[in-house]
Amino acid sequence: MAVGVAGAGFLGIALETAAAPGVWVTPAKWIPIESESLKHTQATVWRRPIQGIVDVRGGVAGDSHVAGDITMEVLEDAMPYFLYASRTTGVRSGTTPNFTYSFTPSAAAVPARTCSITVIRNGLAFAYVGCVVSSSRYTIDGGLLKVTFSIMGMQELTQAGPFTPGYGTVQPFGAGQYNIQIPTATQVFDCDGFDLAIEDNAAPQQRLQNLGSRAQFITYGERSVGLTTTRDFQSRAEYDAFKALTASSLTLVATKGVNNSIQFDLPVTVKSDYTVGLSGQGDLLRASTEFMGIFDSTTNKSYGITLKCQEDVVPA
């Protein structure tokens, strides 16, 4: 028999207290998303003891954790919750109703903040705790700024609710609201693609304990920051600069107003790939350029994200 209401899906998020990661918290924010694939993963151990039979004798619960992706439009009122639970240090400034959140990448191996993610699927609640952002990918698709967060967490809990999701009216960033600067402070008008990938290589850590098969905590590994954009091919000198490993800073600003914006800064990048295709008769000559973000000793970061919004988020 079918359960719930067909097509009804909701996602809520709340930051957990730093002193008690893995403890479910009632959603502070309900977020409109495009898709999600969060799930409880468990490595069942199949037993084959030597005892005169050729079949599997039984199964024992192995290590488990939470993993999956969340794809959504970039909404400045939702972003702080995910960024606080990423491998960053967040600084909040400003007063009601206008706040600024500045996120700088951290070198910490263990997350400073975790979050609870609650998903309502056709009327049934699923609660995932001890969640962090393992990687993120920002793209511009049809004029819309979108992001996919790869989530890794400690375990799934049972939360019956009931929940009454409520959504805000914040609109996504769209065409005509972008300022791409290569290098920073020099706006360019020949880009038709933007793909920023931040990979922190999170991994669940299983330990011997009596709390079930859950992960004890999540750790981070080495970081990679890459950006790909497609531009009009400008000159042979531009291509030669790629071969010379010339460094450049990059900035993307998406703005809907003075106090509603998101800015991505890569203080030092080096081209890691530069592809110039053979154009057809009368076609533009285009170049696909991949940049690798490099740690900058002046700013002590490989990238930075700054949000301006009306969302008052104070980590517990």
Q: Vertex 263, ends 260 and 264: CA angle to 5°?
A: 155
Instruction: Write down the number of H helices and E strands in the chain.
Output: 2, 22
Residues 46-101 have pLDDT tens digits of 988 888 888 898 888 888 899 999 999 999 999 999 999 999 999 999 999 999 99
pLDDT tens by residue, the chain, 316 residues? 444 444 446 899 999 987 778 889 999 999 999 999 999 998 888 988 888 888 898 888 888 899 999 999 999 999 999 999 999 999 999 999 999 999 999 999 998 899 999 999 888 889 999 999 999 999 999 999 999 999 999 999 987 677 888 888 899 999 999 999 999 999 999 888 899 999 999 999 988 888 888 889 999 999 999 999 988 887 888 788 777 888 889 999 999 999 999 999 999 999 888 888 776 666 778 888 899 999 999 999 999 999 999 999 987 6
Burial of 19 (0-12, 13-18, 19+ CB in 10 A): exposed
Residues ≥6 apart with Cβ < 8 Å to 156: 40, 66, 126, 127, 128, 129
Give the phi and the psi of residue 161 in degrees, each rounded to 5: 85, -145
Residues 253-272 have pLDDT tens digits of 999 999 999 999 999 999 88
